[in-house]
Structure 1
Amino acid sequence: MIRSLWTAASGMQAQQLNIDNIANNLANVNTAGFKKSRVNFQDLMYETIKEAGTPNAQGSISPNGIEIGNGVRPASVQRLFTQGNFQQTGNPLDLVIEGDGFFQIQLPDGSTAYTRDGSFKQDGDGRIVTSDGYPLFPEIYIPEDAVGININADGTVSVMLAGEEEPQEIGQLELARFANPAGLSSSGRNLFKATVASGAPIIGNPGMEGFGTIAQGYLEMSNVQVVEEMVNMITAQRAYEINSKTIQASEEMLRTVSNLKR
């Protein structure tokens, strides 16, 4: 009886975490480059009351045993790196990666972060930076007299200068990819950091084998599907309610036992 109380409580805690994750997915439905997450669960240890294959009194073997589970626990929150929809913006510094890869971002402490958010800006020095002012790596500077910027599918960055007839190449975009992108650590601000689980970054130019290509004037939006998340929310809510009913039923059974009289 007591076991059922704790088992149902573990189910309620698991579904609360599930709802928290769904809420974060829905909150970022319009966040460029956002990748949704999914909670993976595992069942807990079992109490073996009778092992399968135990001989019975008649000398035959019991085909089934008796194992009682103790609930559920969250095993992981997995980031899903499926491609999001593309939105055309016409902004020359809005970039999208068609395929695998991450933009590299230089952080103030000198470390490198990675992002799928290609909504870049130009700072006062002409550098291409994120919305927080973190520069793209390798750094690319746009000249003050540039009247147009073009970024090819292979990441070549060129500008048209005032008074010139031919574009001038000013830099080359490089992408990073990982053996296990789901192992990246989320640090907020649409940025990820490499971990032991993700593996070391593999650097290459867009369009190389294994790397996606660049499309200028587009943004990759969140890969969150609102209808899917709403269905997941309903499922989690009902599971939470069912576990709460189990606690109520267990409590009523305990009350019945406590009210027994000779």
Structure 2
Amino acid sequence: IQGRGFFQVLTPDGSRAYTRDGTFQINADGEIVTSKGFTLDPGITIPEDAQSITISGDGIVSALQPGNATVTELGTIQLADFVNPAGLQPIGQNLFLESGSSGSPLTGEPGLNGMGTLAQGSLETSNVNTVEELVNMIETQRAYEMNSKAIATAEQMLEFANNTL
């Protein structure tokens, strides 16, 4: 997803969860599922004989079938957005649940009403720069050591002052 939005998936107990993990695959029933096996909601079923599957930026899932010169539109992936995405409740496995602080989901097609667009075959990169964070950690550690030595020196000076007076 490039921009705002979450994929909607169904958990085994039938409740709806939300994820930005778009590593989809097809299960034995031909349904689009996440890498953990959660079914995309609303569900889209891929025909067994589909030769190639494409997902457009606006979420339209199409497949090319043998004997058919044109692609068949199978459905549209819907996204959900929240007033406060940071308020979603994490439940593990890259899944989140709606909460009081996140607000109710606003669903729609990718690319419309502020929703992000989809990019097939792309990976969302991390928002953490590892090298920068390691440098920050080293700087913090050095500052801690320096403060620790300053406190020890101040303590020695106070002890010396106490003993000589």
With structure 2 as the length reference, what TM-score do the two structures score?
0.84
State percent identity of aligned pairs: 55
Q: Distance in 2 between matches of 1:125 and 1:221?
A: 31
Read off the aligned partner of 2:70 and give its amino acid letter. E
Match status 1:122 vs 2:47: no
- Gaps in structure 2 of 5+ consecutive residues: none
Read off the aligned partner of 1:217 and give its amino acid letter. G
Q: Note the alpha carbon deviations across 1:132-156, whole angstroms, 9 max, x for none.
A: 1111111111110111112111111
Determine which structure has greater relative contact order: mean sequence separation of CA pairs < 8 Å that are 6+ residues apart, divided by chain length: 1
Deviation at 1:249, TM superposition (A): 5.3
Change beyond 3 A, Cα 1:160–1:184: same
1:155 aligned to which of 59, 68, 76: 59
Q: Distance in 2 between matches of 1:134 and 1:112?
A: 10
Q: Distance in 2 between matches of 1:112 and 1:246?
A: 55
2:92 aligned to which of 167, 183, 188: 188
Q: Note the alpha carbon deviations across 1:94-147, whole angstroms, 9 max, x for none.
A: xxx121111112111222222222111111111111111111111111110111
Change beyond 3 A, Cα 1:253–1:184: farther
1:226-241 aligned within 5 A: 226-241=130-145
Read off the aligned partner of 2:11 and give its amino acid letter. L
Q: Distance in 1 between matches of 2:8 and 2:22?
A: 10
Change beyond 3 A, Cα 1:247–1:178: farther
Read off the aligned partner of 1:135 and give its amino acid letter. T
Read off the aligned partner of 1:209 and give its amino acid letter. N
What residue in structure 2 maps to residue 91 of structure 1?
none
Q: Distance in 1 between matches of 2:81 and 2:109?
A: 11
Change beyond 3 A, Cα 1:227–1:261: closer
Match status 1:146 vs 2:68: no
What residue in structure 2 maps to residue 101 of structure 1?
5
How many pairs does the alignment contain? Answer: 164
Read off the aligned partner of 1:117 and give its amino acid letter. D
Larger radius of gyration: 1
Change beyond 3 A, Cα 1:234–1:125: same
Match status 1:110 vs 2:17: no
Change beyond 3 A, Cα 1:261–1:98: closer
Whether the aligned pair in 2 keeps the contact of 1:158 and 1:168 (CA below 8 Å) is: yes
Match status 1:177 vs 2:84: no
More strand by share: 1
Change beyond 3 A, Cα 1:133–1:243: farther
Deviation at 1:171, TM superposition (A): 1.3
Change beyond 3 A, Cα 1:180–1:235: farther
Q: Distance in 1 between matches of 2:157 and 2:77?
A: 67
2:68 aligned to which of 157, 164, 177: 164
Match status 1:201 vs 2:94: no
1:137 aligned to which of 22, 41, 54: 41
Q: Note the alpha carbon deviations across 1:61-114, whole angstroms, 9 max, x for none.
A: xxxxxxxxxxxxxxxxxxxxxxxxxxxxxxxxxxxx121111112111222222
- Gaps in structure 1 of 5+ consecutive residues: 1-96
Whether the aligned pair in 2 keeps the contact of 1:204 and 1:211 (CA below 8 Å) is: yes
